[in-house]
Each structure stands twice: as structure tokens, then as C-alpha cells.
Structure 1
Amino acid sequence: MKSNFKFSNLLGTVYRQGNIVFSEDGTQLLSPVGNRVSVFDLVNNKSFTFEYEHRKNIRALDLNPQGTLLISIDEDGRAILVNYKSRNVLHHFNFKERCYSVKFSPDGKMFALATGRFLQIWKTPNATQDRQFAPFVRHRIQAGHFQDIVSLTWSRDSRFVLTTSKDLTARIWSVQSEDKDLASMTFAGHRDYVMGAFFSGDQETIYTVSKDGALFRWEYTVKEDEDEEDLSKYSWRIAEKNFFHTNQSTVKCVTFHPKSNLLIVGFSTGDFRLYELPSFTLVQQLSMGQNPINTVTINSSGEWLAFGSSQLGQLLVYEWQSESYILKQQGHFDSMNSLAYSPDGSLIVTAADDGKIKVWDVVAGFCLVTLEGHTSSVTAIQFAKKGQVLFSSSLDGTVRAWDLIRYRNFRVFAAAERIQFSSLAVDPSGEVVCAGSNDSFEIHVWSVQTGQLLDTLSGHEGPVSCLSFSQENSILASASWDKTIRIWSIFGRSQMVEPIEVYSDVLALAIRPDGKQVSVSTLKGQISIFDIENGKQVGNIDCRADIISGRHLEDRFTSKNSERSKYFTSIHYSFDGLAIVAGGNNNSICLYDIFNEVLLKRFIVSRNMTLNGTMEFLNSSRLTEAGSLDLIDDTGENSDVEDRIDNSVPGSKAGGDASTRRTRPEVRVTSIRFSPTANAFAAASTEGLLVYAVDEAFTFDPFDLDIDVTPQTTIDALKEREYLNAFVMAFRLNEEYLIHKVYEAIPISEIQLVSSSLPVIYVPRILKFIGDFAIDSQHIEFNLIWIKALLSAHGTYMNSHKHIFTSATRSIQRFIGRVAKDLVTVSSDNKYTYRFLMTTDGTAADMQDGVQEDQMSVDGLDSENDQVADSDEYMSAVSDEEEWTEFEKKKNKLSLQNPEVAESDDEELI
């Protein structure tokens, strides 16, 4: 079982707060998702999330015009500089003040920062500078506003910066001292916050937009009756005033594209408008919902517009010329309750308290469809075996079946009386579906074909909390508050074994894929493993010491002494049944080895300090006699009226926007599942849907289009004698035992055909595998046949891509060298025995014939080597011991003189 899982992607959340940014080529969109940054490739339909995390939610970010440096700043002013190409963190820096906006200059040499009412201009770190400890060097700081700066904009020549503020003014600043006389102007006249100020394409005009919907056009003109050649006589004057007439709505965000003179304005009602300037012509007016638009940006070509709304977590990319949506995404409004992988591992389905079910593409990271039908929280979801039908249970008293081909609800299951279903299990054959409830002690069983209630399984003496079916047979395991586990034969309508007693409340249950073991997570922090056939406990894992529970702000005790959440609420088996992954209402995801009962790896769910339970120690500077200062609700001190209004439900812990809740959200994992492909697992958490994968990136493979790449389908393909498909799928899964099984099961007569049909992308990995495998293998001729077939089929491609095959060819050379050396040793040992037998009487002739046959077999093996090693020196070295010794001396001498030449000489030998 592999344990080297790494964070791969964050799904289920597309936007939280802050600004969004297009890359310079306009094909990628960067969006802050809490304390991380996600990148959406709009052309290739892919997405990824940077692995690094901020201490708090990101407030501002920007990408330099060269597309090499990304800077992101959180709510406390802590910045992280990242190499955008390699995704590596370069530097951490603390500006020690809340930052509202950050922008790189068009030439990429500077970046401007709005911190409070000050404008800071910093030099961009570059490779030509001397290596210094602090790569951030401040160029200058400007002060002049009386309130916080709202936005900033660079001029096209990178000489000036426009800032807008809550003091109802905008100002222009010069970057260099020689331009100071040209930039000493305050743009006053607005009656509300100035939300944005922009230069025109020729920099002769400035547009300012205020929150109340006023647009002022400023021109750099000379005063009346003055000399036009004297620049000191010029000043900025209002040339025109226009108004949006927004009817009680206010401007929330605005951006301007100088090349096309296009102004895009977003309003608090969810509407956005496109104007052509300077004529102030309304081009389009559309709406993206009922919630305010918090940010807007436009790509460099002016074709795509991107909008973000934080209240519902919406992200929208709109092509205004064709009036079509490029991207329209929205996460769950409430916290996720359950997740399920499709049988081929390409889709993840999530269910949440908002009553919606979303289907996510694992590779693309986008939501494909949202299923709506439940009128209350969806508690559990599960696929049928074929992956075309999805079942869901809800607190609205129904279990629904969804068709994932037509994306519709085709069956509704309900009990005789209205009860809230909290657990769900589907038979592997897809014939029956079972559901349990906290309101009832029975398990309800329905027929999928007819929708009729077949049976109610009675026996539990408390509410049924967990249900799970075995994938190999129709064995149903159920757990209840009565501290028992019951095993049911669903078609026999009976219990297979006596109830299994558990000495604590069962929180989660999972059956091993082969149906022989069942594991439960208890309230005492134990994972107990039971044998289903005998009904006896065969293992127990104590998880309390492995769980990081964290400390809440209202706690009067440290996390070390905390008893809160020292247990797991969701567990799941791996495909091979050797490991189990667990998560709960804490900050830990633990991967356990079942046989040895040890912790393999622990993952931290989040480092976001805005969530309760992520810190082990509280900040002592924020603690008072009355408690932590972070618990004080200071929304009444906000300058904006809409920010002072609190519409949240008191004490509510559920919801999408953390900033509108009086109770701080807690870090927790509500559901966790292994992928059927065995190379990833996903966890539904407070931050979103976390995906951990073995490989760093998902590699596209044509076999993923029509074949379910799982270990079981690989074995099935091998039984069906589809050797090529089985071999490719084994390497896609990268399971060592599976590769060995398929490799040795391919008949010799099929090796030539499989090698010639093999995609070239797998040739280096297969050659490397054969080279490493053959060193300890006794099947010399079998391995040589494989090497010969691969070299014959792909020799031309290998010759033109030598850098890819360097490691593989060295492994093959090491194997052939070992074989050749063994043959020389055997030949030299038997040479004198052969001569002795030739001089004796009696059976000398028979002995001679036998030795000649042995010599012919050795020559035959040499001819096999000749296909790989096309070298006269090599072949002569194999035939005689003395020449082999000289060959070794020559090779060692050459490697000492020039290692690079020796490397190239080694490659020529193969």
C-alpha cells in the first residue's frame, strides 16, 4: 500500500474573498479560496491549487506580467512570494498592516501596495540582483489620503500610480522623483467612496467611478489664456460627468480596459454593465444572481470578463462579444456532509446541508452538474456498481435515485411514516437500497426496480447510525447507538452472526472490500476491527495519541488537555484492504496500516487561523481577563452600512461565508473516501473538498476515456486475455504487485505484439521496470525476449529521445553485464573440465556432444545479447575471460578520465 500521498487539489470551493487575476495570456484565472490560491485553466479545462497555505484568508493577490512571480497577502498583511512556474515558495514577508490591494507595474520592475491610508512601492525581486536575505526592498512610501485606500492602478508606462480612497478622493502619485511635478493632484468632487480610477490608453484622460454610481472624466488641459508649451500651466480638470442611475444599488467593483475603452461595473444587486468610453454607451447589462459582485477583472485581450461573488462563492467568466459563459461555477452554500467516488475514479459527488448534490470532475476541478430535488440536508450519497446511478438520503424523509447520464431523478423512496434518514447503503448489484434513521430503530429496504418498500430489518435497540454493504457479496453491516454491530444477509432476511458487542458508541463503519472484515470508529478514539465470519475482534488501533484536536478561542484549557474530538467520524478501507484512512471533527487525517496497527502518515487538514481548532496555543497578546479579543464582534464599527448589518442566525455553525457568522467555523472532516484507482483519497472538510494523490499531477492517458482503470478491472482484463490493456492499466495504477502479476502472465508468443502496440509514453517506465526486476529474476531468457521486442519496436523513437531513456538503458546495461559476467565465469570454470574429459576414454565422445550442446546454448544466449549490445568489444569480452578483464580495465580507466565520455560510451554499448 502506498503512503506517499500529497496534497493535489482543492475542489468544492471556487472563490471566497479578495480579487481575482487573469494571467498575461488570458487563459488562466487565479482565484483565492480561503487561505489557498486556485488556478483555473480555461482553455485546457484543468485546475490546480497551490500547496502552500496562508495563516489567514487571502485578501489580495497579483501575478507579474512575465507570469513568473505570484504574490498573495492575507488579512493580517503577511505576504508569500511564489514562483508561479515551479509552484515553489520563495519568500515570506510581513507588511504588519492590513493590505487592501496589490498590483505589479506593467514592466514588472515594481509592485504597489495599499496598506491602510498609505501607498507603498516596492522593487520586484529578480535574478540579476545579488543574493540577499530580504528580497523585498521598499522604493518609497506615499501618504496623503485621510481614509483607507480602496484601489490602485498603474499607468501604462509604469511612471504613475492612481489611488482611490474612502475619503471621497483619488490621487495620482509618481514613482520616480523627477516626475513629482507632473503628479501632484487630488481628484475631488465625488459624494461617496471612489471605487476606481483608471488611465485611458494615451494617458491623456483619467476616469474615476464612485460608489453612488457617478463617472467623472478628467482631462489634462492648460488653463485659459496660458502658454500651451509650459507644462506647469497644465492641470487635471473635470471634462464630463455621467451617472449610472442604479436605483438604490451601489457600485461594488469596477475595472477598465484601455485598449478597447471598455468599462465594466459590478453592483450590489448582482447586475453588471459594460460601457464604451468616452461616449458612455451602454453595451450590455446582465445579472449573475441576487448577491453583490465583489470583484471583477478583464483579460489582456479584452474578450473575457471574470466576476466573483463571495456570499455564495460564485465565479463567472463571461465572453461579452459572443454573449456566452466560459465558466460558471459555485461551491456549496453550507457545509458538505458526504462524498462518493465514481467506480472509475474520474468523478467525485458531494452532498451538503443546502440540499444540493454536486458532481465534480477530478482532473478538471469543475462542477459538471448540480442535482436539486431534496428539500432538506443531504446526509449520505453512494454510487451503484456500474456508476450510472447515484443514491442519496436526506433529512426530508426521502431516498432518491439519480440518473447520471441524463442528470435527473427517476425514483423516490419513502418510508411508511415520515422519518429523517441519516445513513445509506446500496447493494453491489444495484437491486436494493437500504437506509437508516436516528428517529427509528429499523433498517428500511427498498427495491430499486419497483420503488416498493420490501422489508424493515428489526433488531437494533437504538437509532441506526451507520450502514455499509460488502462489495463482494450482499452482506450488510449496521451499527447503532445500542453499542452493537449486526451483520445481515439481505436476501436471506436474517442475521449471519450474533450481534457484535462494542463497548462504546459507534461513529463510523466500513467493510473491507472482500467482505471478510468490518471496522468501526468509536467515541473513545478506537478503531476496532472484527472478523465477520466468526464475529470476533481481530485488531484494535488506538487513535487518541495521533489526533491533533486544536484549541478553540473560548477554551480555558490547552489542546494537550482537551478531550474534544479525540475520535474519528469517518473511516474507509483502501482497495487492497491493507490500510484505512480516517477523519473527524479535528485537524487530522490519519492513514493506518491495519496489519501492524501503526500510523503510516498524518495530514493536517488546514492551517487557517480563522477556523477554530487549528491552533495548539492561543496568542497571549490577544488574551484578556474577559477572554480572547478575537471573540469580540466588531462589525458595528465598520465604515460601510451594509457591513454593519448582521443578517446571520445567532449561534449558527453552518453556512458558506465565514465572515457573516457570529460563531467561528470549526475545522472538521465530515467524510473521507479512497479512490477506486487506489492512487488518491478525498476528504470533505470545512475548507472544501481536499484531494490527496500519490502522483503530483494527473497525467492524461487515452485509456482513461473508455476503460475503468482500477485493480479489479486490470485483473479482469488479464483473465480476458487483453494483455495490452492489462499491462497499461497496471502501469497507470503503479502498483508493484499488479505490474509483476501482469508482466509474468503475458505469454511469450504475445510479447512481440504487445511491445509493438504499446504507447511510447510507457516504454521508458517498462524498460526501467524490466532492468530492475531482471536483476533478481531467474527468468533470463524471458527478460531478454522482452528487451529485444521493445528495442525492435521502439528503437527509432529511443534514438531520438535518448535523454528520456538514460535511466532505463543503464538498468538494462547492468542486467546484461551481470548475465555476461556469469556466463564468462561458467565458461572459464568448465574449460579445464572439458579438456580433461576429452582426454579420458570411454564416454569422452558422449561428453563432447553434451558440452557442444551447452556451448550452443551459450552461443544462442550470446546472440540474444547481440540484439541489445551492438559492440565488437562487448561480444569478444563475453567469449573470453582475459579479454573481459581488459575490457573492464579500459572502461574503468575511461570513467576516471572523463565520466561524461564514459556515460556516452556506456549508452553506445547498449
Structure 2
Amino acid sequence: ADRQAAEAKFGFYPDLEALLASLRAAKSIQDWPGYLSLFKPDSKIQAEVLQTLRMALYSTREYNRREVPQGFEKMFFKPDGTLMIATAEDGTVRLQDFKGRQQPKVFSGHEGDVDLDVSPDSRLLATIDQQGTFRLWNLEGKQEEPRQLTDCISGFTYTDLNLSPTGFGVYDRGISFSPDSKKLLAYLQRVTEKGNSSTICLWETGDKPKLLKQEGNFYSISFNSNNQLVVANQSGNTLSLSDYRSRNQLAEFKNFNQAPSGYLAFSPTLSGNLVFSPISPNGEYLAGLFGDDVSIAYFRSLDSEYWKEFKPISRASSIIFDTEGRLIIGQEGEGIISVYDEPYKINDSLSDALEFELKGHQGGIREVISSSSNGRQLASLGDDNTLVWWKLDKKPLEELELIPNLKSISISPDGKQLAVVGSDDTIRRLDLTGKVLKRFPDIKITIRQIIFNPDGTQLAGVGKDNRIRLLDLNGNQLYKSKNFNKTISQLLFSPDGTQLLVVENDSTVYPQGYDDKNTSTLHRLNLNSKIWKTEPKLWGEIAFSSDGKLLVAQNALPDHYVERGNIFLKELESGEELVKFKSAKYGFDSIGFSTQGGLVVSAERRYLEDNGSHMEEKGYTYVWDMSGKLLTAFKDGHQSKVNESTVDVSTVTSISLSADGSLLATLDTSGNAKLWRIGGLDELIVKGCNWVRDYLETNPNLDESDRNLCKN
């Protein structure tokens, strides 16, 4: 029931709820009383629990959540990646960590409401009260008196113009540091009898802060990634951006009132916000967020000439760029955070750049912040009065061993042994450290490929003579097939061990096109009768589904540019497409399946990219569940050799998985095999508990049984 509850929560509930439900199911199996062993869930249910826990753990990005504390003003990341919270009550500012533990320093002396900001390097705290008194505090070292900045704004009290009898008052105000923490901005916009009035205060922080002040109207103001203070103003139907200090124009966009979504009228009561991407080889980009009842964000390069070139994103309530230029949008009303990777490469719909979505709030997203100092992290504030801490990096696999000088490798179904063919053509059985358990010295023919059968009692191998041989675990030959005319590219046992499938072809596993010259022939051997049966031609790599149906995995054809890099999993007999696995840039060179474990592992085709100083090798190994959900992606360390005039690309030629999917082996063209721990039940419970431990300790709304779930 807990497993089913976990699966029902995927994609619809916060990640932590799905992970907790899957941990409950896994712990119930792990802690099953010995005296009830006759009633323990069968192997099929245990495998399903393992799959669900694995999917929940590897796909969970939500790290912790809590209610917004009283007096909440701001959340920020410290340089070490710790998420902190600043509160202000009765003119006093206090800091606490995400668990609610108060920090010893207290920042007092203001009157009434306080606005504040923390510098990006987390060294300085700036505070402003209703009287317009500015103070700059040092967050490092001992408690000390703040530097009181020269007051430049009086009457900082916010006014709701809808409730003002005169219609006059303050409608927007703000305070922020520059990205390098060396400048501090405060601004105020108000409506007076004489019209709109704006005040800008800009300090250069240091031992003796320097103040610049200017009165004048502006539409929006923000620091760009180059630490310039940029002012946006509208004149007619033109939006212009200029450097506040030098007055130099940085960009101008025509037809501003003819935005793609329709006419936008910017009244004094409708505020706007502009954010700038980090400077990159692709130039600087601008995102604008404008809203009344339904917000619309716009995204485009500063090199654009017309506003109509900007891409609209509807129902946006928060918008930022992270340090690597990813665009992050918090949506209004639906509690979704959308992360767009390299959106500047997309010419058409911005949705093509969507990396993933985060769902952890009920209602809209008020604010999102990011950090990359200790991995990719986000924190979000929702209309549901909840703060959520997200850790976005894919969870790495544990690398176990490197075993060199191999031609073939197969993991035993129980994940405890390896069958290998060495570069010296010797067949061996090894333990997981590479220690030899058994050599097969009596095999006189060179074996190119070897695999375990489903119960781990036999091996099947392909000889250099293109014959198939069955061996016991001591190397004794049990069967030898006829001689095949073409190259054998794949061996596969059926899940029940009654059939051996052989793929015979002249080409690579993933041919570049589909025609009679590069298709493959499938042969089936009935292991009881030893009778062979030949199937129609196919192309791709075959696998079995959990219900015993034969599947085929195929790369997209070269002329299908839109689908390039995707893998299509189909039923072999009907040709029906079941799943599309997305993410690779140029396609995959090798793929492996764990039917029982519900996993697909694929090695991306390697490619070299010029990063400006040298050629850098790109390419990942991806771990998916059978539904097409990406669990993790990692650099597998199979490195190419780059010489002065040639590139010897190291391709992953073989992937092997244990029956339950807990262990992975990758083998490259250089003969190097690597072992990786994906995780069995016990390992995944430990990892899952480590992930949720802080949440279990601090969340006041959990049942006591959940709070004790990971003890001991």
C-alpha cells in the first residue's frame, strides 16, 4: 500500500511525500519479523518496492520544507551552500538556519517595519526602516555597531494607493546589493500632487560608503551581471535601458506596447521587474516580468531591436537567472517552478529548452533564489506560506572498481560475480573487487562476448568462429551451435531461461539508416529442444519486458533532426512505440536493460567540443526507469585520447546490469570496465534516510511513526 501511495504521488505531490511513502514500504520489508516469514511479500512485490524506492530517491529534488517563520523578510544562501532566513520584528532583525536555530547576532535599533537585503557574499546586511534610516551590518566576526549610512530617503512607509483618500503615497520600494557585493541600491517610487516621483540611492560599500542620489522617474531598476545599475524607462512605444552612472544607453526595444501577448499599458500602479543573465559567450540576456492579474514574462537577448522578438511566458510570478544562465520561472497559481537550460539556443518555443519542473507548493510562487556554491540549489517561497529547499544535482552513482584489459563483461543475476573475457582471450569469473574466482583454461577458441543466464548457473559465449557456446561455471562446454555467417552483435536470454536470442548483422548495433544492407536477423534457440528459429529482420537492440514480450530499442534515424538523440522503445512484433527516452545530443552507442529492476541504462555517443582553450570531451551515461523517467546522468570517466592530429574516441561498447538493477558495469573500446553501485534495498534505504533526515527532525506536522522511520 505504501508503494502504491508513493507511485500515486509522483508528479502530483511534493517529492518528499513520495520518498517517505516509498521508504515506509521498503522499511516494512527490511524489518519484516522472522516469525512471519511465511507471510512476507513475494519476490515480485519486493522488486516493485525496490523499483519505487529507487525512482523516488533518484528523482527527488526537494530537500526540506518548512512554514514561513513569523516576521519573515528574506532567505539567502551562504557561500558554503547553507540556506538561511532573516526575520524582522519590532525594528530588530534576526537570522536563523532552515531548521529554525537562531544565530547569536541580533541587529536592532530601527523603528517600525524594516526592509533588508544580504550581500551575495553573505558578509553584509543592509537594513532600512520607515523613517528612511539605513544601516550596514557586518555578518562576519563579533557583534559590532553598524555603519549608519547617510539617509537619502524619508518616509519609506509603503502606502496602499487603493486605500489612500488622496491617491498619493508610496507604491514601490526596494533594496538590493550588486552581484559583487560592492554596491548597495535603495529606491522608492511614489505618487504626489505633482505626479510620479522616484528616488534612487546608490552607495559604494567599503570602509567609507559613498552616496550618490538622484531624483527622477524610471520604469524599473536592477543590477546586471556586470555590476552596472541599469535603469529602464519607457518613452512612447520604446523601452530603453541605460547605465545609471554614465547615462550611456545599453539597449533599446521598439514597439514596446505591441508585445506578442497584446498591448501592455504600464501605469504607475503596475510595477515591472527586469533581471539580467550572467555574461556568457552568447552575450547578455534580459528577462522582464510584468503583471496585473495574470503575469507575463519576456525573454530575449539585449541585441534585439524590437520588443516583438521577445518570447512570452504566461502566468509567471517570479523570474531569475542562475549563475550559469539558466532561466528559472516561478508560476502563478499552480505552484510550479520551471527551469530552462540554455534558453538562448532556442529559436522557436521556449518550452523546447525546459530542463525540468519542480512541484512543491500549493498556489503561486512568490520568490525563487539560487546558489551554485555547493551544487545547484534553489529555495522558493509560495503563496501557501511555505519555504522549500531544493537540491538539483543528479545523485551520483558510487564507483566501485576499474578492471582493465577486457573484451566482455557480464554481471551475475545476484550481483555478486562477474564473467569476463580478457584481452588475452582468457575467460574468468571474478568477485566485485576483480579477484579471480575461476579461470577457464580449457576453452580453445577465442570468445568475444559472454553473458550469464537468468539463474546464474550457466554462461553463453560468442566465439571468433561465430558459434554460440553454453558453459557451466567451471568452463565445461554444454552446447555448441552451428556456424553463423555474419557478426553476432547481441546475446540475450529470455527471463525464464528457456530461450537464447542471437542478433546477427553486418553493421553496428545502431545502424545509421534503415535499409536491407544494415538490418539484423534475430535467431531463437529453444534451450530444451536445441531447435533454432529465425525471425524477420530488425534493427536496434533487443530486450524483454517484464511480462515476457520482446522489445527493440532504436536511435532516431539521421534525417529525423527533431528526434535526434532520442531512443525509441517499441514492441518488436507490433512496432508500437512504448517509450521515448530523451536527452542525448547525438544518440547512444550502447544500451543495457534490467527487466526485473525496471531500468534502462544508455551511454551517449561521445563528442568533442571546443571550449575556447582546448577540446573538451562531452557525453554522459543515463539511467532511466522503464517509463522513460530519467533517474540520473553521470560522466562515466571513459576518456578519449586526443593527439595532435587525431582523436581516439573511447566509446562505451557494452553495458551490463544485475537482475535487480543494483549493480552496473560499463566497458569501453580501450578495454576498461567500470563498476557502479546503483543500489539495492539496503543501500537505497540508507541514502533515502540521509536525504530526509533533516525534514524528519524539524517538520512539526509529521506522525511520530514517520519521525522515527530512519532511527537506527
Considering the TM-score relative to the shorter chain, is it more than 0.5? no
**Smaller-chain TM-score bracket:** 0.3 to 0.5
Higher helix share: 1
- Considering only CA atoms, is the larger Rg found in Structure 1 or Structure 2? 1
Identify the structure with bigger relative contact order (alpha carbons < 8 Å, sequence gap 6+).
2
For normalisation by structure 1, the TM-score amounts to: 0.27
